[in-house]
Amino acid sequence: MLSLLRFWILLSACLSTGGWVLSAFGVLNRIGYLCVLGASLLLFSAYFVERPITVRFKRWRFRQTAPALYLLLAAAAILGGFLYLPVNVDGYSYRIPRVLHWLGAQQWHWIHSADIRLNVVATQFDWLSAPLLLFFKSERSIPLINAVSFLLLPGATFLALAGLGVRRRVAWWWMWILPAGFCYCMQAGSIANDMFAAIYTLSAIGFAVRTLRTHDPRDLWISLLSIALASGSKQTNLPLGLPWLIAAVPSLHLLPRRFLGTTLMLILALGGSVIPISLLNIWHGFPWQGFLPGTDFAPKNAFWGIVGNSFWIPFNELQPPIIPWAGKWNQIREQFLESDWGAPFRSFEVFAHLQRAASEQYSGIGCTVLVFLLVVWFVARGGAQGKIQISAPDRIKWIRWSIWLGLFVFMAKVGINQNPRYLAPYYPLLAASFLLGSQQRFLVKTKWWRRAAPTVILISVGLIMLSRQRPLFPVETLLKHLPAGSGGDSLMRKVVNSFNFANRLRSEITPLLKEIPADEKLLGYATRAGDKEPWFWKPLFSRRVLRISNNDPPESVNSAGFRYVVVDPSVLTPEWSSAQILELDSPRTKISSIEEWLRVYHAELVSSVSVHLKPDMPPARVCLARFKN
Nearest CA to 207 among 227, 197, 222, 228?
222
Write down the pLDDT at residue 580: 38
Q: Which amino acid is at 21?
A: V
CA distances in angstroms from 524 to 132, 334, 529, 554, 567, listed in the order given: 25, 38, 14, 13, 8
Yes or no: say if 218 and 206 are a contact pair by the CB < 8 Å rule.
no
Write down the pLDDT at residue 585: 43
CA distances in angstroms from 512 to 324, 515, 575, 604, 621, listed in the order given: 36, 5, 20, 15, 11
Per DSSP, the three-state class of 540 is coil
pLDDT tens-place string over residues 302-312: 999 999 999 99
Which segments of 50-95 does DSSP mark as H helices, in order? 65-83, 89-90
Per DSSP, the three-state class of 538 is coil
pLDDT tens-place string over residues 438-483: 888 888 889 999 899 999 999 999 999 988 888 887 766 666 666 5
Write down the pLDDT at residue 510: 85
Percent of the chain's residues with pLDDT above 70: 87
Q: What is the mean pLDDT of residues 243-263?
A: 92
Yes or no: say if 522 and 567 are a contact pair by the CB < 8 Å rule.
no
Lowest mean pLDDT among 41-50, 424-433, 578-587: 578-587
Half-sphere exposure of residue 21: CA atoms within 13 angstroms, side-chain side = 17
Q: What is the phi/psi pair of residue 467, to 5°?
A: -60, 135
pLDDT tens-place string over residues 314-329: 999 999 998 889 889 9
Lowest mean pLDDT among 329-333, 352-356, 615-619: 615-619
Rg (CA), the chain: 25
- What CA–CA distance (Å, rounded) separates 126 from 414? 22
pLDDT over 70 at 54, yes or no: no
CA angle, 86 then 237 then 273, to 5°:
85
Q: What is the mean pLDDT of residues 125-154?
A: 95
Q: What is the phi/psi pair of residue 459, to 5°?
A: -60, -40
Q: Mean pLDDT across the chain, nearest whole number?
A: 86
pLDDT over 60 at 508, yes or no: yes
pLDDT confidence band for 385 (50 / 70 / 90): low
pLDDT tens-place string over residues 154-199: 999 999 999 999 999 999 999 999 999 999 999 999 999 999 999 9
Nearest CA to 47 among 264, 230, 239?
264
pLDDT over 90 at 34, yes or no: yes
- What CA–CA distance (Å, rounded) separates 460 from 199? 20
pLDDT over 60 at 486, yes or no: no
- What CA–CA distance (Å, rounded) separates 472 from 243? 40
- What CA–CA distance (Å, rounded) separates 535 from 510? 9
Write down the pLDDT at residue 438: 80
- What CA–CA distance (Å, rounded) separates 283 from 295? 19
pLDDT over 90 at 530, yes or no: no
CA distances in angstroms from 539 to 265, 318, 400, listed in the order given: 38, 43, 49
Write down the pLDDT at residue 283: 94
- What CA–CA distance (Å, rounded) separates 505 from 129? 23
pLDDT tens-place string over residues 222-243: 999 999 999 999 999 999 999 9
Pairing status of strand 522-526 against strand 544-548: parallel
Yes or no: say if 277 and 429 are a contact pair by the CB < 8 Å rule.
no
Write down the pLDDT at residue 594: 85
Q: What single string gives the DSSP state of each residue in 481-510? A: TS---SSTT-HHHHHHHHHHHHHHHHHHHH
Lowest mean pLDDT among 46-50, 277-281, 611-615, 622-626: 611-615
Q: What is the mean pLDDT of residues 503-529?
A: 84
Pairing status of strand 603-611 against strand 564-567: unpaired
Q: What is the mean pLDDT of residues 337-347?
A: 89
- What CA–CA distance (Å, rounded) separates 437 from 586? 58
CB atoms within 10 A of CB 210: 22
Per DSSP, the three-state class of 390 is coil
CA distances in angstroms from 96 to 129, 148, 424, listed in the order given: 8, 19, 21
pLDDT over 50 at 584, yes or no: no
Write down the pLDDT at residue 582: 41
Write down the pLDDT at residue 597: 87
Helix (H) or strand (E) holding 132: helix 124-136
Question: What is the 8-class DSSP label of residue 626?
Answer: E
Write down the pLDDT at residue 384: 57
pLDDT over 80 at 577, yes or no: no
What's the distance, CA 523 to chain centroid?
Answer: 29
Residue 548: strand pairing partners:
526
Yes or no: say if 437 and 165 are a contact pair by the CB < 8 Å rule.
no
Yes or no: say if 367 and 317 are a contact pair by the CB < 8 Å rule.
yes
Q: What is the mean pLDDT of residues 548-569?
A: 84
Percent of the chain's residues with pLDDT above 90: 54
Lowest mean pLDDT among 223-237, 280-294, 380-394: 380-394
Write down the pLDDT at residue 573: 56
Taking the model in full, what pTM does it have? Answer: 0.91
- What CA–CA distance (Å, rounded) separates 308 from 310? 5
Half-sphere exposure of residue 561: CA atoms within 13 angstroms, side-chain side = 7
Lowest mean pLDDT among 201-215, 303-317, 337-351, 420-434: 337-351
Q: What is the mean pLDDT of residues 388-412?
A: 85
Write down the pLDDT at residue 586: 43
Q: Say which residues have a Cβ less than 8 Å from residue 503's Cβ, sequence separation at least 6.
A: 476
